[in-house]
């Protein structure tokens, strides 16, 4: 009996110990999870929004050497204004201009020397898609970030390019692209104006031999090989998910076809300001008009409380019918190309008529035209399915006087609305 009681005593205490141990294990797991969440690192991504304005203002102090002899020192200013005019998935379309200035005279007043238009896509990680007709921006693919969080001290690498304008100096018509292998390190965080700012070290080396077509005239010396380095401290606004500023040093040596060397050495700094432009709808309207007006001269694009309204008038349908006119499918195909720029926005198609005829008939006709328009749009681009609706308003929403033929013609219309998010 005592033996049984003793065994039961040990069994009960063993269960209690197991329960205590299990509690300790659970507490330890929760503690480790909390630590992991605390030190999970920072995710670096560009936080793009439609209508953003990226304003870059940079200054360069540069010394020019020829065969190791200082020839001159120059001061330059670069100013860029870029607007995000559309967003497709994880990338944003930027368009705008860069302006290049040199300091002149004793006063050092900056005089504009060149203006460069540009258009390109850049994704949330910093990767570029840009045509080779554009000379700016010079540096493409810096910075780029991995798709996983980073902790202080982490290092990563990527490929980038510099685009150089050698038209005036060497008569090379297209941008000369210099590849670079870039290394990064996350140095730590600081606070500026109450915002959390990350410091990043960026370094790369260029070592590139230019290729020329057979028969190129080398009477005027041309760059044969370009060797250089670039190091930068880049500040990134973690609160906003956007660039802040940078400082850098650089040195490039051009080995010329005649054996001489040209060296550009200096330092630069820039501040990047990102604002939400109040006129973003006007930029979008301008972009849409540029795409449509050549093929649909009568198109009107406006901004309303509902969204961006594309008014294509009565050109799609035969008189008093929902049958398409000749050429309507081509017009709709052009409109689809515009709608593809708004993959995350809902689309509403609204039919309207003039006041001639019975009100019920006009309501039915406007509904049938709106429905047919949606059907044709989806047939051209199935990606519109699930986010496109239609309405018929009949004669209830005139935009012109129904007492005149010109007014009635304006009121007979189909509107495609890119609804606000």
Residue 395: both structure tokens together: 């004669």
In this prediction, residue 359 carries a pLDDT of 92
Q: Where are the alpha helices (DSSP H) in 207-358?
A: 280-292, 328-339
What CATH fold (topology level) applies to the domain 52-276?
A: Lipovitellin-phosvitin complex; beta-sheet shell regions (2.30.230)
Whether a cis peptide bond, with omega within 30° of 0, leads into 244 is: no
In this prediction, residue 6 carries a pLDDT of 41
Residues contacting residue 129 through CB under 8 Å, at least 6 positions apart:
91, 120, 121, 122
Count of Cβ atoms closer than 10 Å to residue 344 Cβ:
10
> What is the DSSP pairing of strand 109-123 with strand 128-130?
antiparallel
User: What gap in Å lies between CA 240 and CA 13, rounded to an integer?
Assistant: 56
In this prediction, residue 306 carries a pLDDT of 84
Rounded to a whole number of angstroms, the distance between the first and last alpha carbons of the chain is 79
Alpha carbons within 13 angstroms on the beta-carbon side of residue 103 total: 13
Q: Domain map of the chain by residue range?
A: 52-276, 280-419
Strand order in the sheet with 347-352: 300-303, 307-311, 413-419, 347-352, 388-392
Bin 368: left if φ > 0, else alpha if -120 < ψ < 50, else beta. alpha
Residues contacting residue 207 through CB under 8 Å, at least 6 positions apart:
225, 226, 227
Residues in the chain: 421
Q: Does domain 280-419 have CATH number 3.30.1330.60?
A: yes
> 80 in helix, strand or coil?
strand
User: What gap in Å lies between CA 121 and CA 204, rounded to an integer?
Assistant: 23
- Mean pLDDT, consecutive 10-residue stretches, the chain (421 aa), reads 45 53 62 53 92 91 96 94 88 92 86 91 96 92 95 96 91 91 96 94 95 83 94 96 96 95 96 76 79 83 85 84 86 91 90 91 93 93 91 90 87 90 69
């Amino acid at each position: 009996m005592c033996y049984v009681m003793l065994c039961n005593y040990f069994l009960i205490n063993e269960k209690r110990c197991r329960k205590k141990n299990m509690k300790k294990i659970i507490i330890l797991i929760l503690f480790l999870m909390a630590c992991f969440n605390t030190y999970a690192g920072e995710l670096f991504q560009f936080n793009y929004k439609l209508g953003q304005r990226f304003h870059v203002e940079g200054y360069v102090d540069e010394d020019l050497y020829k065969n190791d002899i200082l020839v001159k020192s120059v001061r330059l200013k670069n100013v860029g204004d870029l607007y995000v005019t559309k967003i497709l998935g994880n990338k944003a379309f930027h368009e705008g201009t860069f302006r290049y200035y040199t300091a002149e005279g004793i006063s050092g007043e900056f005089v504009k020397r060149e203006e460069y238009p540009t258009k390109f896509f850049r994704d949330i990680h910093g990767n570029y898609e840009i045509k080779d007709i554009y000379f700016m921006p010079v540096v493409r693919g810096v910075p780029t970030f991995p798709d996983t969080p980073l902790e202080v001290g982490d290092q990563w690498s990527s490929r980038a390019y510099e685009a150089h304008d050698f038209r005036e100096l060497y008569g090379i018509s297209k941008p000369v692209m210099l590849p670079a292998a870039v290394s990064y390190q996350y140095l730590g965080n600081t606070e500026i104006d109450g915002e959390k700012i990350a410091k990043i070290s960026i370094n790369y080396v260029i070592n590139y031999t230019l290729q020329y077509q057979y028969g190129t005239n080398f009477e005027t010396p041309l760059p044969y090989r370009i060797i250089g380095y670039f190091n930068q401290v880049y500040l990134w606004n973690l609160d906003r998910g956007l660039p802040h500023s940078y400082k850098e040093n650089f040195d490039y040596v051009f080995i010329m076809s005649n054996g001489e060397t040209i060296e550009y050495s200096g330092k630069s700094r820039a501040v990047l300001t990102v604002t939400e432009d109040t006129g973003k709808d006007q930029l979008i309207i301008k972009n849409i008009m540029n795409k449509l007006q050549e093929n649909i001269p009568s198109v009107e694009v406006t901004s309303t409380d509902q969204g961006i309204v594309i008014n294509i008038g009565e050109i799609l349908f035969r008189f008093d019918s929902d049958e398409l006119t000749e050429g309507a499918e081509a017009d709709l195909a052009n409109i689809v190309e515009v709608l593809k720029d708004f993959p995350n926005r809902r689309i509403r198609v609204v039919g309207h008529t003039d006041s001639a005829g019975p009100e019920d008939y006009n309501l039915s006709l406007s509904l049938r035209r709106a429905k047919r328009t949606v059907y044709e749009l989806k047939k051209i681009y199935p990606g519109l399915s699930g986010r496109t609706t239609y309405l018929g308003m009949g004669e209830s929403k005139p935009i012109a006087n129904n007492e005149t033929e010109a007014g009635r013609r304006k009121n007979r219309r189909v509107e495609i609305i890119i609804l606000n998010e």
